[in-house]
């Protein structure tokens, strides 16, 4: 039973690391894209950040199998 908890903790930690890394990467790429798209229209920086925060979970849900696969390989 202790070994199972050890494996579960290790896998959960790698899952969180992969999730946070890919979330940051996707948010950064989306931030650059939204800034490029709305720079000439006069949208404020807070508006662009709101768009990024609203758009990132959709992309994360699409690549969730990749996140689990990367965490499994790293584990």
Tokens read off for 34: 């939204």
Residue 20: the pLDDT is 96
Q: Which of 22, 33, 31 is nearest to 69 (CA)?
A: 22
Residue 31: the pLDDT is 93
Mean pLDDT, range 9-20, rounded to an integer: 95
Question: Residue 63 belongs to what domain range?
Answer: 2-74
> What are 18-43's pLDDT values in tens digits?
999 999 999 999 999 999 988 788 88
What percentage of the chain has pLDDT greater than the value 70?
A: 100
- Number of domains making up the chain: 1
Residue 45: the pLDDT is 84
The pLDDT confidence band at residue 8, using thresholds 50, 70 and 90, is very high
């Amino acid at each position: 039973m202790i070994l199972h908890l050890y494996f579960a903790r290790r896998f959960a930690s790698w899952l969180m690391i992969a999730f946070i890394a890919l979330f940051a990467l996707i948010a950064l790429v989306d931030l650059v894209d939204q800034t490029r798209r709305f720079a000439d229209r006069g949208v404020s920086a807070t508006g662009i950040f709101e768009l990024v925060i609203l758009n990132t979970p959709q992309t994360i849900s699409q690549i969730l199998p990749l996140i689990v696969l990367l965490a499994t390989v790293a584990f």
